[in-house]
Structure 1
Amino acid sequence: MATNQSVKNQLAKKNGNGGGNQPASPAQTIAVYLKKMGPEIEKALPKHMDADRMARIALTTIRTNPQLLECTVPSLMGAVMQAAQLGLEPGLIGHCYFVPFWNNKKKQREVQFIIGYKGMIDLARRSGHIESIYAHCVYENDEFEYELGLHPKLVHKPALKDRGKLQYVYAVAHFKDGGYQFEIMDIDTVEKIRKRSKAADNGPWVTDYEEMAKKTVLRRMWKYLPISVEVQQQAAQDETVRRDVSADPEPVYDDVIDITVQDSADEEEEQAQIEPEQKKQQDDKTVDDQELDDLFKQAENQ
């Protein structure tokens, strides 16, 4: 894979700036890579999904989070390929998320791939043995009771108005053979799991807390579901980093920390040096359809 700088130089020359006075922006660099990866993305995607749509959604997701533009291009492309192979769309739909992290060992920012609640639901349904599967949050003013034992029972009647604070989250799966399974977690247990995550204070745990809480209880129930080995392996890609499109997904917990944490004076000094350049880049981060069209047209001509 070419380096970030080589692609930027190619774009500069294409635009008539052989001297490199106007180097390519990070978004242009990403657009070039996505366009070049088009055939590979198309091969990885399920038949009902479109490679061009996936590339556009990925580019929009990346451009709307300035910190993603600071990550290494290989890890960004690796996250896109993970989404494509699992047939999950990143961004607002909640299938999956691209979360930036600071890799303390390599001293660079990389992208963690996180499966969302809706993505987990989608993966579970692919087994063909599940009639329906869902999760709900329970608040302190809701009517809620459950029983285990020989005859398990779960009753949840949400309050119509002020529901109070979040107290529990539960998941239910109904199987096509008539059986069912449910799992319940209190909010303290959810919080303990969140705090162990490298994305505890960043990404979907901040922007979509309830969805992540529902995903957490769904993952707890996962081992009881009639799911194929293939789907189990797909779910295992949750909270991993792929450092290149051809690399295997790796867990982040051994060598990655949240980018919001500054570990040393050296890193703070480095951040101070790059902040002016980041601010300059952030001034041009707003994206619309015309900008996306222009970026992909430039990429097509490389």
Structure 2
Amino acid sequence: MNAISNAIATRDNGPGALVAQHREDIELVMPSHMQKRVGAWVRTTQGLLRRDEKLLKAAQNDPGQFMAVLLDAARLGLEPGTEQYYLVPRWNNKKGYTEVTGVRGYQGEIELMYRAGAVSSVIVEVVYDNDRFEYRPGRDKRPLHEIDWDAVDRGELRLVYAYAVMKDGATSKVVVLNKGHIAKAMAKSDSAGQSWSPWKTDTEAMWLKTAAHRLTKWVPTSAEYIREQLRARADVAAEQAPPTAALPQALTAGPDEDEVVEGEFVEDEVA
């Protein structure tokens, strides 16, 4: 087999081909609104592998781990290789090689909040040294953040904050993190010190992600929230419904004892 044939065989049996082979599995775990885009999702992932040699090598080292990460992204309905969901080659000391790990980005955290249906808007912003920022819990409903958009240099990253405005107009808990909080979050990341880590390549985005992730403790991020709200409304409606008037005996009488009635129970599901 010549060099060209070898290259074709490697390509056809590589991670890109693996993604295509598992297209049905990926589609199966995706949220329904994403399933019609599964073809584009697969092609985008294959394109990432072609453009990033380190990512391709990590995927080749452990194809099973790579597919597990992709299925996680698909289950969440997030786009891999974007600020919704990073694909990161990470060194695994136990295995002795790099593997692909998934890291939810700040846009992914925000997307999950919107999808749950409880919020009308999500605000996540970084504060630089030259910005004006004021927020006193208990006094201020929301932070005051003023930016000089004409400034050539806003200084260094100082703070990051996040909050959501709920559908009823209420403001969620306001999350404010400083450099110390960010340093603790970085310390929990095995890859933070690596040159390819998003902590190095996209520092501001990782600050935003950390604040957005902290906000998820206070804001629903699951579509189950919608179903619970609908169930609660249905229960209240049922309790408030007027009682049914008693029907005449002739209309309420059931079948004779010897009569066999065929039927089925239908359970209404609240989507």
TM-score, length of structure 2 as denominator length: 0.72
Question: In 1, distance between residues paired with 2:207 and 2:12?
Answer: 32
Larger radius of gyration: 2
Equivalent of residue 126 in structure 1, options 96, 112, 115:
115
Question: In 2, distance between residues paired with 1:81 and 1:99?
Answer: 15
Q: Please name the residue that 1:51 is paired with.
A: 38
Equivalent of residue 125 in structure 2, options 136, 148, 151:
136
Q: Please name the residue that 1:203 is paired with.
A: 197
Deviation at 1:213, TM superposition (A): 0.4
Inter-CA distance 175–64: structure 2 relative to 1 (3 Å threshold): same
Deviation at 1:152, TM superposition (A): 3.9
Inter-CA distance 220–95: structure 2 relative to 1 (3 Å threshold): same
Q: Aligned letter for 2:165? A: H
TM-score, length of structure 1 as denominator length: 0.65
Instruction: Determine whether 1:39 maps to 2:24.
Output: yes
Instruction: Determine whether 1:66 maps to 2:53.
Output: yes
- Contact 1:27 1:69 survives alignment (8 Å): no
Question: In 2, distance between residues paired with 1:110 and 1:153?
Answer: 41
Secondary structure at 2:175 match in 1: strand
Inter-CA distance 195–64: structure 2 relative to 1 (3 Å threshold): farther
- Contact 2:73 2:85 survives alignment (8 Å): yes
Question: In 1, distance between residues paired with 2:130 and 2:91?
Answer: 40
Q: Which runs of 4+ in 1 moved over 6 A?
A: 18-21
Q: Please name the residue that 1:165 is paired with.
A: 156
Q: Please name the residue that 1:109 is paired with.
A: 98
- Contact 1:171 1:217 survives alignment (8 Å): yes
Q: CA RMSD in A?
A: 2.4
Equivalent of residue 79 in structure 2, options 84, 89, 99:
89
Question: In 1, distance between residues paired with 2:48 and 2:178?
Answer: 32
Instruction: Determine whether 1:178 maps to 2:169.
Output: yes
Give % identity.
34
Inter-CA distance 183–28: structure 2 relative to 1 (3 Å threshold): same
Higher relative contact order (CA 8 A, sep 6+): 1
Inter-CA distance 58–27: structure 2 relative to 1 (3 Å threshold): farther
Q: Please name the residue that 1:224 is paired with.
A: 218
Question: In 2, distance between residues paired with 1:209 and 1:27?
Answer: 36
Question: In 1, distance between residues paired with 2:136 and 2:12?
Answer: 53
Question: In 2, distance between residues paired with 1:114 and 1:227?
Answer: 16
Q: Aligned letter for 2:157? A: L
Secondary structure at 2:184 match in 1: helix
Secondary structure at 1:149 match in 2: coil
Which ranges in structure 2 are unaligned for 5 or more consecutive residues?
Answer: 226-271
Question: In 2, distance between residues paired with 1:54 and 1:171?
Answer: 29
Q: Which moved more, 1:114-123 or 1:148-157?
A: 148-157
Deviation at 1:33, TM superposition (A): 1.0
Residues 187-228 of structure 1, C-alpha deviations (whole Å, 9 max, x = no match): 232122113211313332122211110110122222122444
